[in-house]
Amino acid sequence: MSNIKVLIVEDEPIIAENIKALLQQVNYTVVGIAFTKNQALELLENTSPTIALLDINLGNNLHGIEIAEHINTHYNIPFLYLTSYSSKLILDKVKHTFPMGYIVKPFDESDLFTAIEIALSNYSSIKKNTVISLETINKNSDIQLTKKEFIILQEIYSGLSNHQIAEKHFVSTNTVKTHVQNIYSKLNVHNRADAIVAIRKILNS
Amino acid sequence: MSNIKVLIVEDEPIIAENIKALLQQVNYTVVGIAFTKNQALELLENTSPTIALLDINLGNNLHGIEIAEHINTHYNIPFLYLTSYSSKLILDKVKHTFPMGYIVKPFDESDLFTAIEIALSNYSSIKKNTVISLETINKNSDIQLTKKEFIILQEIYSGLSNHQIAEKHFVSTNTVKTHVQNIYSKLNVHNRADAIVAIRKILNS
DNA sequence: GGGTTTTTCATCCAAAAGGATGAATTTTAG
DNA sequence: CTAAAATTCATCCTTTTGGATGAAAAACCC
């Protein structure tokens, strides 16, 4: 029983079922097959996949890219593009969605497996560069930050001084200091640089 | 004329030449073909490739992995493994070398091209998490840090105080302060947190 | 609607960092 | 060998942080 949950977005039922079969051979769980964009969004929300495979038939169908953008803005999972052929043109068009890789059709079980394994492996390294999220912090560690603490932590992370934070958020420097101290206490650090390092570690965990 | 310089490490001359031809078709520059580990190390040093393709024939030949480790410790470029077949076993053995991907033989021009493009694209995202390198800093920006400044910058980046840095490197706190000030001046920042942010930006550029 | 948590703010003090300047010593490069 | 660059260290002073404690609003929850 694999704990890797794959979402397949592919409008060709035959191909989709084929992929599903291949994945199940290597013991992945296929949480669903989406034939349309709306189905994809629904399955993303309801099945919490570990990774998504998105079909892109460049030309009229740009749903894959839209779904990719939706994943980037709403979820924290990697995705791979399934594409019939690869060219500089395609790469340029979809690069900005930051896929973890491409799977060029036709592919066999091992191609699929390799691509997914690498994607998952690389993703845990990559995600650390993205904007820090409160959920990530609170879920990936035993600390529980409040909303304001998290906001201030982000400002610290981006290099602002207490005074700058105070101005930006229309509160007094004293208030900021209090929050900062509470944050330090929760993170078990004693200064800004260590707080940043602590966050880096959590994001990279 | 492509500015992407590829190093091929492959002990089978026929395959190597084939790869070279494929790469040149898609306008990459092949800076060299290494048939042995020593040749690979030499070419790495002398030709400054943008990316390396490493053959791994698991079994008796583990040179690919050793070269990968050498790249990880000495250079700042991504590499891909060329492998005859992929299996969970292989992946487990080489995963720790953090390849940017795998190319499973046999492959065609577009497989190769796709894999390299993705590797390069992802690498610029991933490298930011790795240890900061002096070369990266000095080449990716107009600042020029000295060795000691770079060492101290790393300590700042990892959250040490001036006092801790002084103890660790057997110099006085005053010396550290001087270096820190020179670093700030070069980075055009005025405190630790901003220095860390500045480095983050350079690494992500 | 009453208790809990969060957010707000203050004061006092200590420690650390930041800034300016000057200077001796060591390393490096031509 | 010698000039330039890098590393080392010091002193003086200012600003920012960090730490402790107390406390009043505001928001939230059941």
Average pLDDT, integer, range A35-50: 89
Tens digit of pLDDT for each residue in A138-152?
555 667 888 888 888
Separation CA A103–CA A94 (nearest Å)? 13
pLDDT value for B127: 47
Contact B159 A196 (CB under 8 A): yes
pLDDT value for B31: 93
Peptide bond into B99 cis (omega under 30): no
Tens digit of pLDDT for each residue in B45-71?
888 899 999 988 755 567 888 888 888
Check CB contact of B92 with chain A, cutoff 8 Å.
no
A 10 A CB-CB count for A145 gives: 19
- Protein residues in reach of strand D (CB < 7 A): A 161-163, 177-178, 180-181, 184, 190-192; B 144, 146-149, 169, 171-172, 174-175, 177-179, 191
Check CB contact of A101 with chain B, cutoff 8 Å.
yes
Highest mean pLDDT: which range of A85-99, B16-30, B131-145:
B16-30
Average pLDDT, integer, range A161-167: 88
A 10 A CB-CB count for B112 gives: 22
Check CB contact of A156 with chain B, cutoff 8 Å.
yes
Residue B45 (CA) to nucleotide C29 (C1'), in angstroms, measures 23
Residue A142 (CA) to nucleotide D21 (C1'), in angstroms, measures 27
On strand C, nucleotides with any atom < 7 Å from a protein CB are 5-11, 16-23
Window B:170-189, CB contacts with A under 8 Å: 189
Using H for helix, E for strand and C for coil, what is the string for chain A?
Answer: CCCCEEEEECCCHHHHHHHHHHHHHCCCEEEEEECCHHHHHHHHHHHCCCEEEEEECCCCCCHHHHHHHHHHHHCCCCEEEEECCCCHHHHHHHHHHCCCEEEECCCCHHHHHHHHHHHHHHHHHHHHHCCCCHHHHHHCCCCCCCHHHHHHHHHHHCCCCHHHHHHHHCCCHHHHHHHHHHHHHHHCCCCHHHHHHHHHHHHCC
* Nearest one of B52, B71, B200 to B136, comparing CA atoms: B200
Higher-pLDDT residue of B83 and A174 is A174
pLDDT value for B128: 40
User: What mean pLDDT value characterizes chain B?
Assistant: 78
Structure tokens that stand for B114 in this block? 């796709």
Confidence at B6, pLDDT banded by 50, 70, 90: very high
Are B54 and B81 in contact by the 8 Å Cβ rule? The answer is yes
Separation CA B7–CA A24 (nearest Å)? 37
Q: Given a cut of 60, is residue B126 above it in pLDDT?
A: no
Domains defined for chain A, CATH in brackets: 5-129 (3.40.50.2300), 134-203 (1.10.10.10)
User: What mean pLDDT value characterizes chain A?
Assistant: 78
**Which residues of B spanning 162-191 put their CB closer than 7 angstroms to strand C?**
162-163, 177-178, 180-181, 184, 190-191
Residue B185 (CA) to nucleotide C10 (C1'), in angstroms, measures 35
Check CB contact of A105 with chain B, cutoff 8 Å.
no
DSSP code string of chain B: ----EEEEE-S-HHHHHHHHHHHHHTT-EEEEEESSHHHHHHHHHHH--SEEEEEE-TTT--HHHHHHHHHHHH----EEEEESS--HHHHHHHGGG--SEEEESS--HHHHHHHHHHHHHHHHHHGGGSPP-HHHHHHSSS----HHHHHHHHHHHTT--HHHHHHHHTS-HHHHHHHHHHHHHHHT-SSHHHHHHHHHHHHT-
Q: Given a cut of 90, is residue A176 above it in pLDDT?
A: yes
pLDDT value for B147: 81
Contact B125 A161 (CB under 8 A): no
* Residues of B in Cβ contact (< 8 Å) with A99: 118
Rg (CA), chain A: 21
Separation CA A175–CA A173 (nearest Å)? 5
Rg (CA), chain B: 20
Structure tokens that stand for B69 in this block? 């480790």
pLDDT value for B129: 41
Residue B145 (CA) to nucleotide D18 (C1'), in angstroms, measures 30
Judged by average pLDDT, the poorest of A153-167, A177-191, B67-81 is B67-81
Are B186 and B144 in contact by the 8 Å Cβ rule? The answer is yes
Separation CA A106–CA A22 (nearest Å)? 13
Q: Could you tell me the CA-to-CA distances from B25 to A70, A106, B15, B20 in Å, in that order?
A: 36, 22, 15, 9
Tens digit of pLDDT for each residue in A57-111?
755 567 888 888 888 767 778 888 887 655 555 666 676 676 777 777 767 776 7
Q: Does this model's pTM top 0.85?
A: no
